[in-house]
Structure formats: structure tokens, C-alpha cells
């Protein structure tokens, strides 16, 4: 499989947002590298629709569009360049559609604690986990779904602190630190944000050997970024040598794909 020209601009957007994943691609078998990049680009588009828009109506509309697109893929009629390129037989597109539909139908609310926060993104995480397993020949598992959920919440934390949902920092942490969500993006909210990063890092599975290469490397990067934020060091990227070392260790930890 080679990535078609129409998909290249979406792959470029993903690589610009997640440059560390270039080091993960190095360890992907060459015949699967195009699929690896297409999947990363599609995940970026899904995440942007579900978690990176400022207007709840736009989130609903774009998430519903992707749910419909996933259903069309299940019927063999994709429209988007990325879904057209990922025309792999037997993919569980319906599971992904259910996950995106859960986002479109959800009411935006603040989670009370880590468990409710993870549960709020669980349908989408399950759909992504199922797709990823089918694409790369692995078994979908609860651990993989949790790793995906942590990734989604980490990305929301990275970009959403000033939004209405406060980056989904739970209410329990606001109460613990005696602040309102309006202060999360201010210096007064730093400790609550650090604590939330630490809680997310601790939720990541410790032995992801059965997961795909994509998920193992992505989780290794998420863990590093979360630990840095927990230590009050906000990082927008991972240093190159560190990213290469993390990817190498993750690649050695399990499957080749």
C-alpha cells in the first residue's frame, strides 16, 4: 500500500502536529509504513473533530459526519481521501462509527474524577482500538482501549485548558486545589493540571507488549509528555534523541507491527 497524493496533505498535518511519530515509523516494516501514516492521519482528523473545536455545534456536526463516513466505509462507499486509502477488507468501521456518534450525541460536561473521564471517551477509544487491531493484525484489548482513552484525554489537556471543559480536568481536582475551571490556564491552576497529568500517566497500561507498534510508541510518547507535565514542565514536543530512544524501546517491547 502506498499513500495516494490526495491523502498526502492530511498526513503532513498529522506529522506537523505529532512529529515524534516519525521516529515510530522508522520501526514499522516498510510494507506497512503507508498504512501506519494513513492511520495516524485519520486519527488526527477524528480527534480534531471530537475534541479540538470551540463550538459544541461544530463538534456535533463534524463528529456526526465522521460517524456517517465510517458507516459508508463499512458499506464500501468511502468519500474522504484517507478512508478511501484505508480500503482494507474486514475493518470494523461500525465500531468506529459508534464511537464518533457517541461524541456527537454527548452533552459536554465536566467529569467528576479520572474514572468518569476515561469512561466519557471509552466508546471512541474502543472503536479506535478495534480498528487499529484489525489494521495491524493484533488483538483488541481493554488495555489498548485505556491507552487510547489516555491519549485522547492527554491531547485535550494539551489544547483545551482555556476552553469551557477546562481540558477535562476533573472536578475532584478543582475541589482539592480550591480553584475554578477559569483558573486552570492561569498560574493558580498549575498544581491541579500537574496532578491530572500524573493521574493520566498512572492509568496507562504498564505492559503493552500485545498492542500494535503504533499504540506502543504513541503510549510511550504520551507517558513521557504526561510525566513532564506532572513535574510542572510543559513540553510541546519531545527532543529528537529522546523520541528516538522511546520509540526504540517501545518497538523492542512487543510486536513488529
Q: CATH code at 160?
A: 1.10.600.10
Describe the crossing of helices 142-160 and 190-203 by its angle, rounded to 10 degrees: 160
Query: Is the confidence at residue 47, as pLDDT, over 70?
Result: yes
Measured on CA atoms in the order 113, 47, 55, 98, is the torsion positive or negative? Answer: negative
Q: For 136-157, what is each residue's pLDDT tens digit?
A: 988 778 899 999 999 999 999 9
- Residue 175 forms part of a structural domain: yes
Where residue 105 falls among pLDDT bands split at 50, 70, 90? confident
- The whole-angstrom separation of Cα 158 and Cα 151 is 11
- Residue 122 forms part of a structural domain: yes
- Residue 257 forms part of a structural domain: no
Q: What is the pLDDT of residue 257?
A: 66
- Residue 50 forms part of a structural domain: yes
- The whole-angstrom separation of Cα 217 and Cα 197 is 18
- Residue 130 forms part of a structural domain: yes
Where residue 1 falls among pLDDT bands split at 50, 70, 90? low
Mean pLDDT of the chain: 92
- If 0-12 CB within 10 Å is exposed, 13-18 middle and 19+ buried, where does residue 160 land? buried
Q: For 150-204, what is each residue's pLDDT tens digit?
A: 999 999 999 888 888 889 999 999 999 999 989 999 999 999 999 999 999 999 9
Domain that holds residue 217: 5-252
Q: What is the pLDDT of residue 256?
A: 63
- The whole-angstrom separation of Cα 11 and Cα 171 is 36
Q: What is the pLDDT of residue 108?
A: 65
Where residue 6 falls among pLDDT bands split at 50, 70, 90? confident
Q: What is the pLDDT of residue 209?
A: 60
Whether the model clears a pTM of 0.85, i.e. scores above it, the answer is: yes
- Residue 28 forms part of a structural domain: yes
- The whole-angstrom separation of Cα 157 and Cα 155 is 5
Number of domains in the chain: 1
Q: What is the pLDDT of residue 163?
A: 86
- Residue 145 forms part of a structural domain: yes
- Residue 70 forms part of a structural domain: yes
Average pLDDT of 19-36? Answer: 95
Amino acid at each position: 500500500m502506498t499513500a495516494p497524493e490526495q491523502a498526502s496533505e492530511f498526513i503532513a498535518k498529522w506529522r506537523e502536529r505529532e512529529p515524534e511519530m516519525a521516529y515510530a515509523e522508522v520501526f514499522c516494516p516498510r510494507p506497512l509504513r503507508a498504512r501506519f501514516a494513513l492511520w495516524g492521519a485519520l486519527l488526527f482528523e477524528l480527534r480534531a473533530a471530537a475534541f479540538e473545536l470551540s463550538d459544541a455545534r461544530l463538534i456535533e456536526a463534524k463528529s456526526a459526519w465522521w460517524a456517517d463516513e465510517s458507516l459508508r466505509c463499512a458499506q464500501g462507499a468511502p468519500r474522504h481521501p484517507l478512508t478511501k486509502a484505508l480500503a482494507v477488507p474486514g475493518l470494523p468501521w461500525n465500531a468506529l462509527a459508534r464511537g464518533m456518534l457517541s461524541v456527537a450525541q454527548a452533552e459536554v460536561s465536566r467529569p467528576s474524577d479520572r474514572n468518569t473521564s476515561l469512561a466519557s471517551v471509552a466508546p471512541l477509544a474502543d472503536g479506535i482500538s478495534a480498528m487499529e487491531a484489525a489494521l495491524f493484525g493484533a488483538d483488541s484489548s481493554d488495555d489498548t482501549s485505556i491507552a487510547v482513552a489516555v491519549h485522547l484525554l492527554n491531547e485535550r489537556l494539551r489544547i483545551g485548558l482555556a476552553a469551557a471543559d477546562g481540558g477535562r480536568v476533573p472536578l475532584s481536582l478543582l475541589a482539592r486545589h480550591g480553584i475554578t475551571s477559569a483558573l486552570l490556564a492561569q498560574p493558580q491552576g498549575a498544581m491541579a493540571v500537574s496532578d491530572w497529568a500524573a493521574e493520566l500517566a498512572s492509568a496507562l497500561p504498564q505492559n503493552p507488549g500485545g498492542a500494535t507498534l503504533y499504540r506502543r510508541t504513541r503510549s510511550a510518547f504520551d507517558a513521557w509528555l504526561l510525566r513532564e507535565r506532572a513535574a510542572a514542565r510543559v513540553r510541546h514536543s519531545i527532543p529528537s534523541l529522546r523520541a528516538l530512544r522511546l520509540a526504540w524501546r517501545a518497538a523492542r517491547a512487543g510486536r513488529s507491527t
